[in-house]
């Protein structure tokens, strides 16, 4: 028996596709067999399996478990919950790996798989290996099938989120976006001091209220309305599988991922002076300057949750974050991206800083930046174009950081051009102290793209 995946489904950080078109139960079964075979060969034998609230998740879960057990691996089903709850299960139960069935922040007709293998991220080459094994039928089918048990860890997980809580009592709005974090948020707010108002905590894979992606401001409109109507201190929002956080202050202004990290870094650096804090290449210069000002060691790294987690282990960083709202705490926690835990730590950070979130936001330097600009390009050209741009810039003597694409510093500010790891697009962003400066930076991006034959087309937002 062999299996062929749709090539678009095997991504850099996970496996993802449109259910019924590029992803289905046969793929889930093959993933289970491949993962189980690799785990058995590495000496492991038990896997935790969780799922989000999408309509297709139970069917994919059943097929995945079938594949895992067929190759002799025991499965502990943790049920429906956010991705970090599955990561928590993988870190604390006696298992050798974990798989979450989730479409993350994608539309409801998508689904996918995020994987952890013996306490490390399973991505890149690992995912391609699953594809190769399936094509070759390289699976070790066991004589005796693995056993399936269930573990109800929701209360343990919520208890862990609250462990050692030392924050103040605030009036907070919470928007779970009908995603998998809803039940966790409902339990969490009952334990937190203060006054809490929740939105859309019922899990609904149709996402009837708004798309569960807090990095797009339009998806925060309901939360902004709630905070304004009830005059709340601030608002928190979560993506479809609870691994990305969004936030607004008391005036409804968005606090972006890099701004959140600058707030969360302050208490961490008080407790661990001089520690390394990692952010991705899309983050504001303001963040790197702030970490240095607080006595920390700012490190710019590649975008992608698996890449950041790997870099954290290498540098022993207690905290890391991405512009996209993935926040990773290894300080008093396990090092994975957990929006529910980040929410608790944000409340604690505001309390420790001793100012309101609105005042903290007010004190941040006012910078003007573009939303994330996306340029459709041929998949085979995307990395080559970035190389061409880098070569031209360096020939001109520009100040360039090559960590992940091209990040260029100029007196006006900075701009970034990188190839997406998951789509056939180039992603660009720019930031300046003035509109005129920003216009000049964007003109430089356009000029470089034009020299490589790319014209500015329609763009997606932040």
Q: Which residues are catalytic?
A: 104
Give the dihedral of Cα atoms 22, 24, 26, 27; nearest 10 deg: 60
Give the residue carrying structure tokens 């990773």.
328
The two three-digit tokens of residue 318, written as one number: 């207690």
Distances in whole angstroms, Cα of residue 293 to Cα of each of 177, 265, 289, 343 = 36, 11, 6, 24
Q: Which is nearest to 417 in space by CA: 325, 333, 258, 303?
A: 303
Label the pairing between strands 373-376 and 327-329.
unpaired
Query: What are the helix and strand counts (H, E) for the chain?
Result: 14, 22
Closest C-alpha among 138, 129, 97 to residue 116: 97
CA angle 413, 416, 419 (to 5 degrees): 180
For the chain, first and last CA: distance in Å? 44
Whose CA is closest to 68, among 93, 82, 86, 49? 49
CB-based contact 290:262 (threshold 8 Å): yes
d(CA 102, CA 17): 10
Rounded to whole angstroms, how far apart are CA atoms 304 and 322? 8
Q: How would DSSP label each residue in 56-101?
A: THHHHHHHHHHHHHHTT-EEEEEEE--HHHHHHHHHHSS-SEEEEE
CA dihedral 277, 105, 172, 84 (to 10 degrees): -60
Q: Where are the alpha helices (DSSP H) in 114-200?
A: 125-136, 154-162, 182-191
Question: Rounded distance, CA 314 to CA 330, Å?
Answer: 12
What does the block give as tokens for 68?
Answer: 């895992």
């Amino acid at each position: 028996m062999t299996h062929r995946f749709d090539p678009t489904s095997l991504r850099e950080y996970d496996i993802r596709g449109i259910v019924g078109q590029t992803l289905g139960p046969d793929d889930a079964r093959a993933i289970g067999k491949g993962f189980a075979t690799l785990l058995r060969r590495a000496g492991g034998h038990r896997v935790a399996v969780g799922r989000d609230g999408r309509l297709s998740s139970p069917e994919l879960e059943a097929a995945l478990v079938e594949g895992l057990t067929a190759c002799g691996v025991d499965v502990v089903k943790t049920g429906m919950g956010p991705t970090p709850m599955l990561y928590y299960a993988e870190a604390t139960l006696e298992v050798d790996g974990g798989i979450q069935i989730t479409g993350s922040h994608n539309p409801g007709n998508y689904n996918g798989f995020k994987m952890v293998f013996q306490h490390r991220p399973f991505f890149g080459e690992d995912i391609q290996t699953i594809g190769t094994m399936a094509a070759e039928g390289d699976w070790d089918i066991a004589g005796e099938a693995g056993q399936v048990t269930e573990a109800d860890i929701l209360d343990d997980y919520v208890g862990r989120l609250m462990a050692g809580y030392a924050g103040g009592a605030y009036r907070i709005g919470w928007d779970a976006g009908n995603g998998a974090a809803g039940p966790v948020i409902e339990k969490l707010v009952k334990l937190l001091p203060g006054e809490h108002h929740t939105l859309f905590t019922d899990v609904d894979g149709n996402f009837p209220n708004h798309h569960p992606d807090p990095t797009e401001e339009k998806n925060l409109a309901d939360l902004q309305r709630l905070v304004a109507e009830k005059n709340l201190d601030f608002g928190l929002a979560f993506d479809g599988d609870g691994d990305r956080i969004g936030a607004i202050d008391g005036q409804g202004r968005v606090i972006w991922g890099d701004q959140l990290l600058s707030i969360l870094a302050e208490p961490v650096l008080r407790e661990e002076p001089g520690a390394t804090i990692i952010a991705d290449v899309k983050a504001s210069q303001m963040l790197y300057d702030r970490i240095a000002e607080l006595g920390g060691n700012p490190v710019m790294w590649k975008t992608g949750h698996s890449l950041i987690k790997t870099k954290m282990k290498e540098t022993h960083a207690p905290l890391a974050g991405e512009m996209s709202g993935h926040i990773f705490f290894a300080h008093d926690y396990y090092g994975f991206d957990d929006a529910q835990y980040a929410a608790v730590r944000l409340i604690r950070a505001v309390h420790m800083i001793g100012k309101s979130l609105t005042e903290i936001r007010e004190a941040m330097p006012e910078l003007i930046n573009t939303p994330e600009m996306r340029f459709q390009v041929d998949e085979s050209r995307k990395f080559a174009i970035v190389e061409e741009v880098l070569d031209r810039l360096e020939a001109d003597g520009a100040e360039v950081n090559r960590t992940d694409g091209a990040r260029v510093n100029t007196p006006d500010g900075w701009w970034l051009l990188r190839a997406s790891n998951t789509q056939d697009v180039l992603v660009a962003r720019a930031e300046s102290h003035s509109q005129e400066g920003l216009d000049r930076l964007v003109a430089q991006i356009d000029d470089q793209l034009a020299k490589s034959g790319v014209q500015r087309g329609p763009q997606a937002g932040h």
